[in-house]
Structure 1
Protein backbone atom coordinates (compact mmCIF):
# COMPACT_ATOMS: atom_id res chain seq x y z
CA UNK A 1 0.00 0.00 0.00
CA UNK A 2 1.48 3.40 -0.93
CA UNK A 3 2.48 5.70 1.90
CA UNK A 4 0.84 9.14 2.03
CA UNK A 5 3.01 11.99 0.83
CA UNK A 6 4.57 14.20 3.46
CA UNK A 7 2.40 17.20 4.21
CA UNK A 8 3.67 20.21 2.31
CA UNK A 9 3.53 23.76 3.59
CA UNK A 10 0.19 25.45 3.13
CA UNK A 11 0.20 28.39 0.75
CA UNK A 12 -0.91 31.87 1.74
CA UNK A 13 -3.76 31.62 -0.77
CA UNK A 14 -5.16 28.67 1.24
CA UNK A 15 -5.42 30.88 4.33
CA UNK A 16 -6.87 33.75 2.28
CA UNK A 17 -9.56 31.48 0.85
CA UNK A 18 -10.38 30.01 4.26
CA UNK A 19 -10.77 33.51 5.76
CA UNK A 20 -12.99 34.60 2.87
CA UNK A 21 -15.28 31.62 3.46
CA UNK A 22 -16.11 32.56 7.07
CA UNK A 23 -19.60 33.90 6.13
CA UNK A 24 -22.13 31.14 6.79
CA UNK A 25 -19.68 29.24 8.97
CA UNK A 26 -19.89 32.04 11.53
CA UNK A 27 -23.49 31.00 12.15
CA UNK A 28 -22.14 27.92 13.92
CA UNK A 29 -21.51 30.14 16.95
CA UNK A 30 -25.30 30.36 17.42
CA UNK A 31 -25.36 26.60 18.06
CA UNK A 32 -22.61 26.44 20.68
CA UNK A 33 -23.50 25.61 24.26
CA UNK A 34 -21.69 27.44 27.06
CA UNK A 35 -18.26 26.13 27.97
CA UNK A 36 -15.30 24.80 26.04
CA UNK A 37 -14.94 24.32 22.29
CA UNK A 38 -12.60 22.04 20.35
CA UNK A 39 -12.37 23.23 16.75
CA UNK A 40 -10.90 20.51 14.49
CA UNK A 41 -8.96 21.40 11.32
CA UNK A 42 -8.96 25.15 11.81
CA UNK A 43 -6.87 26.50 8.93
CA UNK A 44 -6.11 30.16 9.70
CA UNK A 45 -8.22 30.12 12.87
CA UNK A 46 -10.81 32.75 11.97
CA UNK A 47 -13.69 30.58 13.16
CA UNK A 48 -11.80 29.64 16.33
CA UNK A 49 -11.29 33.36 17.06
CA UNK A 50 -14.99 33.98 16.52
CA UNK A 51 -15.85 31.16 18.92
CA UNK A 52 -13.45 32.61 21.52
CA UNK A 53 -15.34 35.93 21.35
CA UNK A 54 -18.75 34.23 21.68
CA UNK A 55 -20.65 34.85 24.90
CA UNK A 56 -20.55 31.82 27.20
CA UNK A 57 -17.49 30.24 25.59
CA UNK A 58 -14.83 29.72 28.26
CA UNK A 59 -12.01 28.39 26.08
CA UNK A 60 -11.24 27.28 22.54
CA UNK A 61 -8.81 24.52 21.56
CA UNK A 62 -7.86 24.98 17.90
CA UNK A 63 -6.63 21.60 16.65
CA UNK A 64 -4.70 21.33 13.38
CA UNK A 65 -1.92 19.13 12.03
CA UNK A 66 -0.30 21.79 9.82
CA UNK A 67 2.64 23.59 11.49
CA UNK A 68 2.05 26.76 9.46
CA UNK A 69 -1.59 26.85 10.63
CA UNK A 70 -0.48 26.43 14.25
CA UNK A 71 1.91 29.39 13.92
CA UNK A 72 -1.03 31.60 12.94
CA UNK A 73 -3.09 30.37 15.88
CA UNK A 74 -0.51 31.59 18.41
CA UNK A 75 -1.62 35.14 17.62
CA UNK A 76 -5.32 34.66 18.40
CA UNK A 77 -6.60 35.78 21.83
CA UNK A 78 -8.60 33.17 23.72
CA UNK A 79 -7.46 30.36 21.43
CA UNK A 80 -5.17 27.53 22.55
CA UNK A 81 -3.41 25.90 19.58
CA UNK A 82 -3.14 22.09 19.74
CA UNK A 83 -0.96 20.15 17.29
CA UNK A 84 -2.58 17.07 15.79
CA UNK A 85 -6.11 16.02 14.98
CA UNK A 86 -9.07 14.26 16.54
CA UNK A 87 -6.77 11.97 18.58
CA UNK A 88 -6.06 14.94 20.89
CA UNK A 89 -9.68 15.18 22.04
CA UNK A 90 -9.35 12.58 24.79
CA UNK A 91 -6.62 14.62 26.50
CA UNK A 92 -8.84 17.73 26.43
CA UNK A 93 -12.00 16.01 27.69
CA UNK A 94 -14.51 16.73 28.98
CA UNK A 95 -15.54 19.24 26.33
CA UNK A 96 -18.81 21.05 25.77
CA UNK A 97 -18.54 21.45 21.99
CA UNK A 98 -16.59 19.74 19.23
CA UNK A 99 -16.74 21.47 15.85
CA UNK A 100 -15.84 19.81 12.54
CA UNK A 101 -16.30 22.69 10.11
CA UNK A 102 -15.90 21.58 6.50
CA UNK A 103 -13.26 19.05 7.49
CA UNK A 104 -14.93 15.62 7.61
CA UNK A 105 -14.59 15.32 3.83
CA UNK A 106 -10.80 15.51 4.35
CA UNK A 107 -10.99 12.88 7.08
CA UNK A 108 -12.83 10.70 4.58
CA UNK A 109 -10.49 11.37 1.65
CA UNK A 110 -7.14 11.28 3.43
CA UNK A 111 -7.87 9.29 6.55
CA UNK A 112 -9.28 6.02 5.29
CA UNK A 113 -12.85 6.49 4.13
CA UNK A 114 -16.07 6.02 6.06
CA UNK A 115 -14.39 4.20 8.95
CA UNK A 116 -12.13 7.21 9.55
CA UNK A 117 -15.17 9.51 9.72
CA UNK A 118 -16.92 7.11 12.11
CA UNK A 119 -13.80 6.97 14.29
CA UNK A 120 -13.55 10.78 14.34
CA UNK A 121 -17.17 11.15 15.39
CA UNK A 122 -16.76 8.44 18.03
CA UNK A 123 -13.73 10.28 19.43
CA UNK A 124 -15.76 13.50 19.56
CA UNK A 125 -18.67 11.80 21.32
CA UNK A 126 -16.32 10.23 23.87
CA UNK A 127 -14.76 13.63 24.65
CA UNK A 128 -18.05 15.46 25.14
CA UNK A 129 -19.86 15.98 28.43
CA UNK A 130 -22.93 13.73 28.46
CA UNK A 131 -25.44 16.42 29.45
CA UNK A 132 -24.12 19.59 27.83
CA UNK A 133 -22.66 19.23 24.35
CA UNK A 134 -22.86 19.84 20.63
CA UNK A 135 -21.20 18.23 17.63
CA UNK A 136 -21.38 20.26 14.44
CA UNK A 137 -20.41 20.00 10.79
CA UNK A 138 -20.82 22.82 8.30
CA UNK A 139 -20.53 21.11 4.95
CA UNK A 140 -24.14 21.87 4.11
CA UNK A 141 -26.09 25.15 4.27
CA UNK A 142 -27.24 25.95 7.79
CA UNK A 143 -30.85 26.57 8.64
CA UNK A 144 -31.83 29.21 11.16
CA UNK A 145 -31.90 27.86 14.68
CA UNK A 146 -35.47 27.81 15.94
Structure 2
Protein backbone atom coordinates (compact mmCIF):
# COMPACT_ATOMS: atom_id res chain seq x y z
CA UNK A 1 0.00 0.00 0.00
CA UNK A 2 1.23 3.48 -0.80
CA UNK A 3 2.46 5.52 2.16
CA UNK A 4 -0.19 7.60 3.90
CA UNK A 5 0.81 11.25 3.91
CA UNK A 6 -0.17 13.96 6.35
CA UNK A 7 -1.95 15.82 3.53
CA UNK A 8 -3.95 12.70 2.69
CA UNK A 9 -5.10 12.36 6.30
CA UNK A 10 -6.08 16.02 6.38
CA UNK A 11 -8.22 15.51 3.27
CA UNK A 12 -9.81 12.42 4.79
CA UNK A 13 -10.57 14.34 7.98
CA UNK A 14 -12.25 17.07 5.95
CA UNK A 15 -15.12 14.62 5.37
CA UNK A 16 -15.97 14.70 9.09
CA UNK A 17 -19.38 16.31 8.58
CA UNK A 18 -20.35 13.51 6.23
CA UNK A 19 -19.28 10.88 8.76
CA UNK A 20 -21.43 12.32 11.56
CA UNK A 21 -24.57 10.71 10.12
CA UNK A 22 -23.23 7.24 10.99
CA UNK A 23 -23.15 7.96 14.71
CA UNK A 24 -26.94 7.92 15.14
CA UNK A 25 -27.02 4.27 14.03
CA UNK A 26 -24.50 2.96 16.57
CA UNK A 27 -25.91 0.16 18.75
CA UNK A 28 -24.54 -0.72 22.18
CA UNK A 29 -21.73 0.90 24.14
CA UNK A 30 -18.62 -0.33 22.30
CA UNK A 31 -17.74 0.47 18.68
CA UNK A 32 -14.99 -0.89 16.44
CA UNK A 33 -13.65 1.61 13.89
CA UNK A 34 -12.03 -0.44 11.12
CA UNK A 35 -9.35 1.57 9.32
CA UNK A 36 -8.89 4.53 11.65
CA UNK A 37 -6.98 6.71 9.15
CA UNK A 38 -6.58 10.11 10.78
CA UNK A 39 -8.70 9.13 13.78
CA UNK A 40 -11.47 11.59 12.93
CA UNK A 41 -14.29 9.07 13.38
CA UNK A 42 -13.11 8.12 16.85
CA UNK A 43 -13.00 11.80 17.78
CA UNK A 44 -16.49 12.40 16.39
CA UNK A 45 -17.99 9.46 18.27
CA UNK A 46 -16.42 10.45 21.57
CA UNK A 47 -17.48 14.10 21.17
CA UNK A 48 -21.11 13.19 20.50
CA UNK A 49 -21.42 10.01 22.57
CA UNK A 50 -18.77 10.30 25.30
CA UNK A 51 -19.98 7.19 27.13
CA UNK A 52 -19.17 4.95 24.17
CA UNK A 53 -15.90 3.03 24.11
CA UNK A 54 -14.22 3.20 20.71
CA UNK A 55 -11.74 0.54 19.63
CA UNK A 56 -9.69 1.16 16.49
CA UNK A 57 -7.90 -1.15 14.10
CA UNK A 58 -5.76 -0.38 11.08
CA UNK A 59 -3.40 -2.47 9.01
CA UNK A 60 -0.70 0.07 9.78
CA UNK A 61 -0.93 2.89 12.32
CA UNK A 62 0.48 6.08 10.77
CA UNK A 63 2.82 8.28 12.80
CA UNK A 64 0.60 11.19 11.75
CA UNK A 65 -2.26 9.57 13.68
CA UNK A 66 -0.59 9.06 17.05
CA UNK A 67 -1.79 12.34 18.55
CA UNK A 68 -5.39 11.31 17.85
CA UNK A 69 -5.24 7.86 19.46
CA UNK A 70 -6.40 9.27 22.80
CA UNK A 71 -9.96 9.05 21.50
CA UNK A 72 -9.68 5.26 21.32
CA UNK A 73 -9.98 2.87 24.26
CA UNK A 74 -7.69 0.43 22.43
CA UNK A 75 -5.94 0.42 19.06
CA UNK A 76 -4.61 -2.63 17.21
CA UNK A 77 -2.57 -3.08 14.04
CA UNK A 78 -4.75 -5.64 12.33
CA UNK A 79 -6.00 -6.70 8.91
CA UNK A 80 -9.72 -6.05 8.44
CA UNK A 81 -10.17 -9.73 7.59
CA UNK A 82 -8.71 -10.89 10.91
CA UNK A 83 -10.68 -8.95 13.51
CA UNK A 84 -11.24 -12.05 15.64
CA UNK A 85 -7.49 -12.28 16.29
CA UNK A 86 -7.71 -9.36 18.75
CA UNK A 87 -11.44 -8.77 19.30
CA UNK A 88 -13.41 -11.34 21.26
CA UNK A 89 -16.94 -12.35 20.30
CA UNK A 90 -19.37 -9.88 21.88
CA UNK A 91 -16.63 -7.42 22.84
CA UNK A 92 -17.97 -4.81 20.42
CA UNK A 93 -21.59 -4.04 19.58
CA UNK A 94 -21.09 -2.12 16.33
CA UNK A 95 -18.45 -2.43 13.61
CA UNK A 96 -17.96 0.54 11.27
CA UNK A 97 -16.28 0.27 7.87
CA UNK A 98 -15.88 3.91 6.84
CA UNK A 99 -14.36 4.17 3.36
CA UNK A 100 -12.43 0.97 4.00
CA UNK A 101 -13.99 -1.87 2.03
CA UNK A 102 -12.95 -0.43 -1.33
CA UNK A 103 -9.37 -0.38 -0.01
CA UNK A 104 -9.65 -4.00 1.14
CA UNK A 105 -10.75 -4.82 -2.41
CA UNK A 106 -8.11 -2.73 -4.15
CA UNK A 107 -5.05 -3.71 -2.10
CA UNK A 108 -5.80 -7.42 -2.17
CA UNK A 109 -5.60 -7.95 -5.91
CA UNK A 110 -9.03 -6.43 -6.65
CA UNK A 111 -10.63 -9.35 -4.85
CA UNK A 112 -14.29 -9.18 -3.85
CA UNK A 113 -13.63 -12.28 -1.75
CA UNK A 114 -11.34 -10.17 0.44
CA UNK A 115 -14.27 -7.82 1.06
CA UNK A 116 -16.50 -10.75 1.97
CA UNK A 117 -13.84 -12.01 4.39
CA UNK A 118 -13.76 -8.62 6.13
CA UNK A 119 -17.55 -8.59 6.44
CA UNK A 120 -17.58 -12.15 7.79
CA UNK A 121 -14.90 -11.21 10.30
CA UNK A 122 -17.08 -8.35 11.56
CA UNK A 123 -20.18 -10.53 11.64
CA UNK A 124 -18.42 -13.17 13.70
CA UNK A 125 -17.52 -10.78 16.54
CA UNK A 126 -20.79 -8.87 17.00
CA UNK A 127 -23.58 -10.22 19.24
CA UNK A 128 -27.21 -10.67 18.29
CA UNK A 129 -28.58 -7.15 17.88
CA UNK A 130 -25.13 -5.89 16.92
CA UNK A 131 -24.66 -3.77 13.83
CA UNK A 132 -22.37 -3.39 10.84
CA UNK A 133 -22.26 0.11 9.36
CA UNK A 134 -20.74 0.64 5.91
CA UNK A 135 -19.89 4.01 4.38
CA UNK A 136 -18.07 3.82 1.05
CA UNK A 137 -18.14 4.53 -2.65
CA UNK A 138 -21.05 3.36 -4.77
CA UNK A 139 -21.86 2.60 -8.39
CA UNK A 140 -24.92 4.14 -10.03
CA UNK A 141 -27.80 1.88 -11.03
CA UNK A 142 -28.00 3.72 -14.37
CA UNK A 143 -24.70 3.19 -16.19
CA UNK A 144 -25.64 5.18 -19.29
CA UNK A 145 -22.91 7.08 -21.07
CA UNK A 146 -22.13 10.65 -20.07
CA UNK A 147 -20.00 13.38 -21.59
CA UNK A 148 -17.44 15.12 -19.41
CA UNK A 149 -16.59 18.64 -20.64
CA UNK A 150 -13.42 20.09 -19.11
CA UNK A 151 -13.21 23.79 -18.33
CA UNK A 152 -9.45 23.45 -18.76
CA UNK A 153 -9.12 21.52 -22.06
CA UNK A 154 -5.64 20.25 -21.17
CA UNK A 155 -7.22 18.15 -18.41
CA UNK A 156 -8.67 15.87 -21.09
CA UNK A 157 -5.30 14.12 -21.08
CA UNK A 158 -5.80 13.29 -17.41
CA UNK A 159 -8.86 11.24 -18.32
CA UNK A 160 -6.95 9.44 -21.07
CA UNK A 161 -4.08 8.73 -18.67
CA UNK A 162 -6.51 7.45 -16.05
CA UNK A 163 -8.01 4.97 -18.53
CA UNK A 164 -4.51 3.59 -19.11
CA UNK A 165 -3.42 3.52 -15.47
CA UNK A 166 -6.57 2.14 -13.82
CA UNK A 167 -6.02 -1.60 -13.38
CA UNK A 168 -9.10 -2.72 -11.43
CA UNK A 169 -11.07 -3.13 -14.66
CA UNK A 170 -11.01 -1.87 -18.24
CA UNK A 171 -12.19 1.72 -18.50
CA UNK A 172 -14.28 2.63 -21.55
CA UNK A 173 -13.42 6.10 -22.83
CA UNK A 174 -14.01 7.90 -26.12
CA UNK A 175 -12.27 11.21 -26.77
CA UNK A 176 -14.61 13.70 -28.42
CA UNK A 177 -13.84 17.34 -29.05
CA UNK A 178 -10.69 19.01 -27.78
CA UNK A 179 -12.26 19.43 -24.33
CA UNK A 180 -14.51 16.40 -23.78
CA UNK A 181 -14.63 12.64 -23.28
CA UNK A 182 -17.51 10.16 -23.19
CA UNK A 183 -17.63 7.36 -20.61
CA UNK A 184 -20.19 5.07 -18.97
CA UNK A 185 -21.40 6.70 -15.76
CA UNK A 186 -19.59 4.28 -13.44
CA UNK A 187 -16.30 4.67 -15.30
CA UNK A 188 -16.83 8.44 -15.13
CA UNK A 189 -17.41 8.10 -11.38
CA UNK A 190 -14.08 6.35 -10.88
CA UNK A 191 -12.27 8.99 -12.91
CA UNK A 192 -14.00 12.00 -11.36
CA UNK A 193 -13.41 10.93 -7.77
CA UNK A 194 -9.75 10.29 -8.56
CA UNK A 195 -9.46 13.57 -10.48
CA UNK A 196 -10.94 15.53 -7.57
CA UNK A 197 -8.06 14.49 -5.27
CA UNK A 198 -5.53 16.26 -7.47
CA UNK A 199 -2.20 15.34 -9.02
CA UNK A 200 -0.33 14.83 -5.74
CA UNK A 201 -2.61 11.96 -4.70
CA UNK A 202 -3.09 10.47 -8.16
CA UNK A 203 -0.57 7.66 -7.76
CA UNK A 204 -2.44 6.31 -4.75
CA UNK A 205 -6.01 6.99 -5.89
CA UNK A 206 -5.66 5.41 -9.34
CA UNK A 207 -4.85 2.10 -7.64
CA UNK A 208 -8.20 2.09 -5.84
CA UNK A 209 -11.57 1.13 -7.29
CA UNK A 210 -13.94 3.30 -5.29
CA UNK A 211 -17.34 1.85 -6.20
CA UNK A 212 -17.77 -1.88 -5.65
CA UNK A 213 -21.53 -2.28 -6.08
CA UNK A 214 -24.71 -0.42 -6.95
CA UNK A 215 -27.05 0.10 -3.96
CA UNK A 216 -29.18 -2.90 -4.94
CA UNK A 217 -26.10 -5.06 -5.47
CA UNK A 218 -24.59 -3.98 -2.13
CA UNK A 219 -27.72 -4.90 -0.18
CA UNK A 220 -28.13 -8.22 -1.99
CA UNK A 221 -24.45 -9.16 -1.59
CA UNK A 222 -24.38 -8.52 2.16
CA UNK A 223 -27.72 -10.21 2.84
CA UNK A 224 -26.76 -13.24 0.73
CA UNK A 225 -23.45 -13.51 2.56
CA UNK A 226 -24.60 -12.96 6.14
CA UNK A 227 -27.70 -13.37 8.28
CA UNK A 228 -28.30 -9.64 8.64
CA UNK A 229 -31.30 -7.36 8.43
CA UNK A 230 -31.10 -4.05 6.58
CA UNK A 231 -31.89 -1.21 9.00
CA UNK A 232 -31.48 1.70 6.58
CA UNK A 233 -29.47 2.91 3.61
CA UNK A 234 -28.86 6.09 1.66
CA UNK A 235 -26.74 6.97 -1.35
CA UNK A 236 -25.80 10.53 -2.14
CA UNK A 237 -23.36 13.02 -3.66
CA UNK A 238 -21.07 14.51 -1.03
CA UNK A 239 -21.32 18.29 -1.30
CA UNK A 240 -17.57 18.81 -1.20
CA UNK A 241 -17.15 16.71 -4.34
CA UNK A 242 -20.00 18.53 -6.07
CA UNK A 243 -18.53 21.93 -5.27
CA UNK A 244 -14.98 20.99 -6.27
CA UNK A 245 -15.91 19.25 -9.53
CA UNK A 246 -18.28 22.02 -10.60
CA UNK A 247 -15.27 24.33 -10.86
CA UNK A 248 -13.51 21.95 -13.23
CA UNK A 249 -16.03 20.07 -15.38
CA UNK A 250 -19.59 19.90 -16.65
CA UNK A 251 -21.47 16.62 -17.12
CA UNK A 252 -24.00 15.91 -19.87
CA UNK A 253 -26.27 12.93 -20.56
CA UNK A 254 -26.66 11.16 -23.91
CA UNK A 255 -29.28 13.71 -24.98
CA UNK A 256 -26.88 16.58 -24.39
CA UNK A 257 -28.61 17.79 -21.23
CA UNK A 258 -26.69 18.93 -18.17
CA UNK A 259 -26.82 16.21 -15.53
CA UNK A 260 -25.70 15.81 -11.93
CA UNK A 261 -22.47 14.17 -10.90
CA UNK A 262 -22.70 10.51 -9.87
CA UNK A 263 -23.28 9.65 -6.24
CA UNK A 264 -20.04 9.55 -4.29
CA UNK A 265 -21.13 7.61 -1.21
CA UNK A 266 -23.46 5.00 0.18
CA UNK A 267 -24.37 4.46 3.82
CA UNK A 268 -25.72 1.05 4.83
CA UNK A 269 -26.71 -0.15 8.30
CA UNK A 270 -27.21 -3.87 8.95
CA UNK A 271 -28.25 -5.61 12.17
CA UNK A 272 -27.61 -9.17 13.33
For 1:32 and 1:120, how far apart are their aligned partners in 2? Answer: 19
Counterpart of 2:115 in structure 1 is 117
Provide the C-alpha distance between the structure 2 equivalents of 1:118 and 1:91, rounded to a whole number of angstroms.
19
5+ long unaligned stretches in structure 2: 137-264
- For 2:131, which of 126, 131, 134 is the aligned residue? 134
CA contact (8 A) 1:48 1:79 kept: no
- Flag the 1:57–1:102 CA change in 2: closer, same or farther, 3 A: farther
Q: 2:12 aligns with which of 1, 5, 18?
A: 18
User: After the TM superposition, which residues 42-121 of structure 1 pair with which residues of structure 2 at under 5 Å, given as runs?
Assistant: 42-55=36-49, 57-68=51-62, 71-74=66-69, 76-86=70-80, 87-93=82-88, 94=90, 95-112=92-109, 113-121=111-119
TM-score (norm 2): 0.45
Question: For the Cα contact (< 8 Å) 2:56–2:72, is it kept in 1?
Answer: no
Q: In structure 2, do the counterparts of structure 1 residues 83 and 17 end up closer, same or farther at CA, with 3 Å as the change threshold?
A: same
Question: For the Cα contact (< 8 Å) 1:96–1:129, is it kept in 2?
Answer: yes
Q: Compared with structure 1, are the counterparts of its residues 78 and 118 closer, same or farther at alpha carbon in structure 2 (3 Å cutoff)?
A: closer
Which residue of the other structure, out of 38, 41, 65, is the alignment partner of 2:32? 38
Cα distance in structure 2, aligned partners of 1:127 and 1:14: 30
* CA distance in structure 2 between the partners assigned to 1:65 and 1:73 by the alignment: 17
Deviation per CA, 1:94-119, whole angstroms, max 9, x where unpaired?
Answer: 12000001110011111241100111
Unaligned runs of 5+ residues in structure 1 are 1-6
1:36–1:57: 8 Å Cα contact kept in structure 2?
no
Where has structure 1 moved over 6 Å in runs of 4 or more?
A: none
TM-score (norm 1): 0.80
State how far apart, in whole Å, the 1-side matches of 2:112 and 2:39 are.
Answer: 26
TM-fit CA distance, 1:55: 3.0
